[in-house]
Structure 1
């Protein structure tokens, strides 16, 4: 799906004239590279929320706060458990694939020192790996559902067999 819209009025965008009725296409790969907003592309964008990842206006994502909280918590936890995590290659060697719609890393090779910790049994385990989880109480499965009984001579229509009309005979000449 190509994100396009039709201009509803004449305007100038990025020094280019757009007339009412012109098709405008959104180039997602251009995100965060506006020279007016980010003149130095090597400068970090930490805390920059001037993007449309969660939409805006009437179509703004209602879950963006929880989405950010989940991402922040995950990244904080990762960095607290692996404080010495570093790229194992030079940043200039990172490979990016993309097209006119998006860009992404092929891989993100990192190295870190595995830390051992004692679990509740006194044994050592890697953080979050192999640790015993408490048992989870599972609810009982529901009892099998019983189908209602059908009057004799009536079919449900299953397997391609149609139920006969109510009343009369099966040739369509009876009364209901």
Structure 2
């Protein structure tokens, strides 16, 4: 299983990560997505599976030396960061609630946001701007990053470095950009 967002799902569902993946033969788990480790992933599986994975890693040249500092960061991310993921989810919900009140944004905060990812639509019937132009303006003028997922679809992701004040700033600038591009 691709467990890139496993911890976000576990926090949202209030279920231990091991319970979510108990039917999987193996899990690849990223420590940098959500858990703020500088690098690193884990591969979890049976003893035989891990033995084969180590052999393949060696054959393909994937080994590293002297990675204790990176391992230490990974351990901290596993032990300290999961408790902070709920705050990311709260910030995403706050962002979605604010976006839902802005003319030209289409999102249902109660149903469209479960974790730290906020996907919303720009309404072309209300504004004269597409997602690509919207993202370019936010980035170039306000240093706000938003991912374009379609002609009118955008995505924000809340993470541990995003504060409530950052959310308020983003909402202010999104409102400003869309009001400047009203139909």
- TM interval, shorter chain, is under 0.3
Scaled by the length of structure 1, the TM-score of the pair is: 0.24
Q: Which has the higher contact order (CA 8 A, sep 6+)?
A: 2
Point out the structure with the larger helix share: 2
